[in-house]
Amino acid sequence: MFSLGSWLPGLTWGWALLDALLQGLVGACAVSVLCSLLKVYLYIQCLNDPEGQAEKEAMRAQRRVLEPLHVLVLTGLLALVGSRVAALVVLEFSLRAVSTLLSLGKGSRSTQLYLLCQYSLGCGVSCGLSFLLEGAPHGTCNLALAAGLAGLLACSARRLARHVCTLYELHSTAQYCGVCILLLSTGHRIPRLLCKALAITFTVADLAAVALINRDFLSTGEAVRFWTPLTICYTLLIIYMQEEPQQSSGRRPVFQTVLVRMGGLFILLLTVGHWVDIFHVLISLLGELWCLLHARVMLEACWRQ
């Protein structure tokens, strides 16, 4: 009674939705691993600082249900964001990160910058997977395997953070826990490890972002008409970021910066983008704000330092 062709559009749409959800899940798990490792590092720093007891207790008092909820919400947001807007978010953060690190000086590390890259990291992982698996015959199976591996890593990092917040103070004194003894001697290297991992991730994501954006252009003229205002917009954003204090003393400048960045991207896509891109920019704004709210305790610790 029903032909196979009548079911193909719905079947194709269903597989595309599943792929988007799996890509979003991998990106959200990557953000979860980043947050868990930063939580371990900042907790140890606050424990060694007499003035950081308030932030230490706040990180310890965070409810366990918040982390799975954060991953779930971020998965939905990353699945809804289109590849064009996700690619633009990745490129914008990469330029901003390079500019910030150069202004901080050679060898400097900015823990706050790692916290601010959460949503951009999720978009970067999603863009990288979309580009690498484009046209793959078993792309959905590959995404499922990647999501399973990412979930295992996120759960392991979450258990490590929970163990540190609960027992590190006792174990580091008694010195009978191998994990805590290892963190006692090498915990200060976590930012360096994250720096290398993020550099590799965003390098791949930037290449994928450029390729994903350029595939929508039929001619060189169309590409020039898009990249010219984009370059001007990003240059102005970087100049604005440089005029802001590098180490913010409160949460207001961080949220204000997010609004300025997304506002600039919104105006840009009004002129050279599609209408659906406007909706994706609003989703990106929600994603940025959600990640900042989730990491507010760790941001407070960074601001105090």
Q: What angle do CA 15, 30, 80 make, to 5 degrees?
A: 40
Summarised one tens digit per residue, pLDDT across range 244-301 is 544 445 556 777 778 888 888 888 787 776 778 888 889 999 999 999 988 888 888 8
Residue 9 belongs to some domain of the structure? no
- Looking at residue 296, its pLDDT comes to 86
**What residue numbers bound the domain in which 107 lies?**
16-242+253-304
Cβ neighbors of 294 (< 8 A, separation 6 or more) are 35, 66, 70, 118
- Looking at residue 217, its pLDDT comes to 74
Residue 103 belongs to some domain of the structure? yes
- Fill in the DSSP letter of residue 106: T
- Looking at residue 14, its pLDDT comes to 65
Summarised one tens digit per residue, pLDDT across range 2-13 is 443 444 444 455
Residue 247 belongs to some domain of the structure? no
Summarised one tens digit per residue, pLDDT across range 177-196 is 878 888 888 878 888 899 89
Residue 195 belongs to some domain of the structure? yes
Residue 57 belongs to some domain of the structure? yes
Residue 5 belongs to some domain of the structure? no
Structure tokens at 72: 């779930």
107-136: average pLDDT: 82
Rounded Cα distance between 198 and 34, Å, is 9
201-206: average pLDDT: 92
Residue 143 belongs to some domain of the structure? yes
Residue 120 belongs to some domain of the structure? yes
**Number of independent structural domains in the chain:** 1
Q: Does the structure show a pLDDT above 80 at 33? A: yes
Cα-only R_g, the chain? 21
Rounded Cα distance between 4 and 2, Å, is 7
pTM for this model (two decimals):
0.87
